[in-house]
Structure 1
Amino acid sequence: MPKVGMPLVRKPQLVQAAMSVIDRVGLHAASISLIAKEAGVSTGIINHYFGGKHGLLEETMREILRQLSQTVTSHLRQIPKTEHVKRINAIVDANFVGFQAENKVAKTWLAFWSYSMHDPQLKRLQRVNEKRLLSHLKIELNTLFTPEQATVIANGIAALIDGIWLRGTLTPEGIDADKARFIINDYLDKQLTFYSLK
């Protein structure tokens, strides 16, 4: 029987181990035995806490999403609610800096993206993340555009975030937050100009 309080230690340890193994060998080759070895525990511990590999992968995805949500919230807290473009930049930054930009996290994200197309639970988590991003963006964009325009632009920014993030993950240089911010600001400026001329 595990000691009291051990889940608080073991679960994050196993999530980190899962990301490290996925980084090294990919999602499909990330077996329970490799993850257990990486964490320095028996395979039975993974089954005990997560019910197997799928449960651990789901918890890993949840942890990445929690970290992203906390980063977005933290960034937004630092900026006055009247500074809408800066707040959009804060949302963008949260997707490209810190935890999200770590190599093993980026590779895990990428693996989950492809895996979620065929797994209903992971697909649901991906949709939650997408809705959260669009919601944050629309809150700021609704102050600058009509609701219909804000929806279109929010989807455009989300697509840019995903595309820039994907390219950054697949290149040796990695993710460039400054470049992402520049591209998205350029897009936003063009939208502001376009709609102001209508």
Structure 2
Amino acid sequence: MPKVGMPDIRKPQLVQATMNVIERVGLHGASISLISKEAGVSTGIINHYFGGKQGLLEETMRAILREHSREITTALKQLSPDAHYQRINAIIDGNFNGFQTESEVVKTWLAFWSYAMHDPQLHRLQRVNEKRLISHLKIELKTLIPRSQASSVAHGIAALIDGIWLRGALNPRGIDATLARTIINDYLDKQIWYYDNLQG
């Protein structure tokens, strides 16, 4: 976490610089020197406020996760609380549209995922994000399928989101949001049909 006193205007500037450098040279090549040059600040400022590259990477991922959460929350607020199927699609779309598909964000996400396996703090951030996704999905699914099965289907949708996003991120053509929704909706529709017929 950045120290108290870090000018608010500097945080987004340094976060953007970090993503830009990761996009160009990858995480391992993203040195404090390159990031500070990109942001137009001294390396001392980064070391002072973030404690170095690790702290800056954590703040960068927190910023991405905050924006991710904000976009999904905003989309959900625009829908009726009873529009559960549409709300699930808003959650899906939040992972495949807008900010989350910008090139520098995608490459930072990929770096974050690989790095999180070996770093407890980054792993914790990943777990928080995963739990938030599952929680959002379960709230909506409980009205469409038996409550006892909502967690299992939520994890299935989350796995599809992660897998499709990863495949798209590694594809030179990028992430296909329409295809993602089609695949995930096909899974969701089959689950709803199955449990409807099981009860019937």
Matching residue of 1:133 = 133
Does the aligned pair in 2 maintain the 1:88–1:140 contact within 8 Å? yes
- Give 1:29's aligned residue: 29
Match runs of 1:48-67 below 5 Å? 48-67=48-67
Aligned CA RMSD, in angstroms, stands at 1.0
Give the Cα separation in 2 of the matches to 1:20 and 1:40. Answer: 13
Q: Which runs of 5+ in 2 are unaligned?
A: none
> For the Cα contact (< 8 Å) 1:7–1:49, is it kept in 2?
no
For the pair 1:194 / 2:198, whether they are aligned, the reply is no
- Give the Å deviation of 1:110: 0.6
- Please name the residue that 1:142 is paired with: 142
Q: Distance in 1 between matches of 2:6 and 2:155?
A: 42
TM-score (norm 1): 0.96
Aligned to 2:73: 73
- How many residues end up aligned between the 2 structures? 194
Q: Could you say if the C-alpha distance between residues 6 and 121 of structure 1 is closer, same or farther in structure 2, counting changes exceeding 3 Å?
A: closer
Equivalent residue number for residue 17 of structure 2: 17
Q: CA deviation at 1:148?
A: 2.2
Letter in 2 for 1:37: K
Give the partner amino acid of 1:158.
Answer: A
1:29-82, Cα deviation, whole Å (9 max, x unpaired) = 110001011111110111122111111000000000000000010010111011
Per the alignment, residue 178 of structure 1 pairs with: 178
Is the 2:145–2:196 Cα contact (8 Å) retained in structure 1? no
Rounded to whole Å, the distance in 1 between the matches of 2:77 and 2:11 is 29
Q: Work out whether residues 22 and 104 of structure 1, in 8 Å CA contact, stay in contact via their aligned partners in 2.
A: yes
The Cα shift of 1:141 comes to: 0.2
Specify the code of the residue in structure 2 equivalent to 1:54.
Answer: Q
**1:40 counterpart = 2:49:** no
**Structure 1 residues 84-119: Cα deviation after superposition (integer angstroms, max 9, x where no partner):** 110000000011111111010011001000100000
Quote the offset at 1:146 in angstroms: 1.8
Distance 1:137 1:103 in 2: 26
Alpha-carbon distance between aligned partners in 2 of 1:78 and 1:97, rounded to the nearest angstrom: 16
Partner residue in 2 for 1:158: 158
Tell me, in whole angstroms, the C-alpha distance in 2 between the residues paired with 1:85 and 1:130: 20
Matched, 1:115 2:115: yes
Query: Which runs of at least 4 in structure 1 moved beyond 4 Å after TM superposition?
Result: none
Matched, 1:93 2:122: no
Alignment TM-score, normalising by the size of structure 2 = 0.95
